[in-house]
Every structure is written in C-alpha cells, then in structure tokens.
A and B are shown apart, each in its own frame.
Chain A
Amino acid sequence: MIDIPLQTGIMLSGILFFMGFLGVLVRRNIIFMLMSVEIMLNAAGLAFVLAGSHWGEADGQVMFIFILTMAAAEVSVGLALILQLFKHFKSLDSDSFNKMRG
C-alpha cells in the first residue's frame, strides 16, 4: 500500500476539482458542462476516499457510494433535459437557452 503524504492526495483531488471547475466556466456546449460537473464530483469522492483510508474508517467509502448515486440520478435527469432542450432549440449552446419561455 502507498505511504505518500496525505496532502499530495488531497492536492491531486484539488487539481482535478479545479480542472472541472474551469471546464464548467469555459465551455459553452452544455454536454461538456455536464461532463465537467462529473469531473468535480469524482474529485470530491477521491478526497473522501483518501481521507477515509487515512483514518482507517469506512465512512469515506460510504460517502463515495452516496456521491455515485447522486451523480447517476443527476446525469439521467440532466441528459433527458439536454435532449428536450436540443429538440426545442436545435442547439447545444448554453447561450441560446435564454429564450426559454413557459
């Protein structure tokens, strides 16, 4: 098993998280925004699991399972929404969705 400093692991998860954050800010295609949100969730889960195995508790892994459940539900609803939006606006540009009315 690894014996690196815990901070290195947390640093990795921070780097991945802020890469996902940058993706959400920069990309205009809504599918890429959803993918970047997935990256952020995964990075948060990485921090949970590393901290959990540092203290030898199963709680971090349990929290990762909850994050996984949440990500699955979020993606299924989000992709259904994207399909509907594409049907209405014929575009994936998040700027074109400002004409949304009732």
Chain B
Amino acid sequence: MNTIFYIAAAVAVISTGLVITRAHSVHALLYLIVSLLAVSVIFFVAGAPFIAALEVIIYAGAIMVLFIFVIMMLSVGEDTKIKEKQWLKGKIWIGPGILSAILMGLFLYVVFSGSGDTLDVKPISPKEVGVSLFSKYLLGVEIAAMLLLAGIIGAYHLGKQEKKVVHRFMKNNNK
C-alpha cells in the first residue's frame, strides 16, 4: 500500500509541475486533471473513500468541465500560445521561485521539527462523515448553502449578455 502512495505522490507532483509550466491552457488543464486523480488515489489509500469519490466527481468532473467550457468560449489559439511562451521566459521564474522555495523550506522545517509519528490509518466510512456533517457541522452546511446561492447569483449576474443595440433610435424600444 505504501508503494501506491509514493507512486501517486510522484505523479501528483510531476503533473502539477507540468500544469504551472505549460503554455497551452488545455494541456495544463489535462495535467491538472491527472494531478487531481493522483490526489484522489492518495485519499483512497488514506482511508477516505468518500472523499476520493467526491474529488473525482466534483473536482475532476464538474469544476474542470467549467474550465474547459470557458477556455472554449475564449477561443485561445496559436497566437496566445506564443504570447504565453514569451511571458514564461527564464528570468521571470527566479524571484518567485526563490521566495516560494524559502517559504516551503520554512514549512518543511516546522513540519519535520515535530515528533515523527506514523500515520495509522483508520478508514472512515461515509456514514460517519455524514453524521458528523449534519449534526456537529450543521451551521457550516447552512453557511455553505448561502455561499452557493451567492455563487449562483453572482455567476448569473456577471455572465449575463447585454443586449446589442443596433441603432440609437431602437435603444428605448428594447427596454
């Protein structure tokens, strides 16, 4: 089982690295899906089968499809790929790379300076998650419902197409 974890972790790290370096957005999106599926494998072996299923269905299924549709609507072509390649040239990686490497070093130092106990996985069934979600975290569920409502209204309002006015005399008749 440990081998599965390490292989999936390697796949996740490699594909995430490819996501942030690709010039073509559809390629990056496909690598992001690979990365999410690898993380889902890790969830599965870490005793969270329900979360693994949610990751595949919602993250890799629904959210990525949203991204694909938006990329299709924006109709990015070869010229954007060339522009991306110009933006991503060498020197731009140095500053952010050093800074985030320092932050990651600090993070790893803090993590590894603690006591090193082994992960003893006890699988948690969806039933336990559901009971906890709808008893202890009921308020959180309601707040999440409000957040989703705000998301729907916001997406509808922002995504609304304005009516095209053909001539200024016709402007008032449209309303």
Give the size range of A's interface with the partner: 35 or more
The DSSP consensus for interface residues of chain A is helix
Give the size range of B's interface with the partner: 35 or more
Question: How many interface contacts (CB-CB < 8 Å) are there between A and B?
Answer: 236
Excluding A3-B120, A36-B19, A83-B74, 9 further A-B contacts by CB distance (< 8 Å) are A1-B47, A3-B121, A6-B116, A14-B108, A14-B111, A23-B19, A39-B16, A62-B140, A76-B154
The residue in A5, A74, A77, A86 that gathers the most chain B C-beta atoms within 10 A of its C-beta is A77
The residue in B2, B28, B137, B151 that gathers the most chain A C-beta atoms within 10 A of its C-beta is B151
Q: Is the CB of A72 within 8 A of B150?
A: no
A-B contact pairs, 16 of them (CB 8 A): A9-B119, A11-B108, A16-B13, A16-B35, A18-B100, A22-B96, A23-B20, A27-B87, A39-B20, A54-B120, A64-B54, A72-B63, A74-B151, A79-B67, A79-B70, A80-B155
A97 lies within 8 A of chain B by Cβ: no
Q: Which of B48, B96, B151 contacts A26 (CB 8 A)?
A: B96
The residue of chain A having its C-beta at the shortest distance from the C-beta of B36 within the complex is A42
Residues on B with beta carbons closer than 8 Å to the beta carbon of A39: 16, 19-20, 32, 35
The residue of chain B having its C-beta at the shortest distance from the C-beta of A28 within the complex is B87
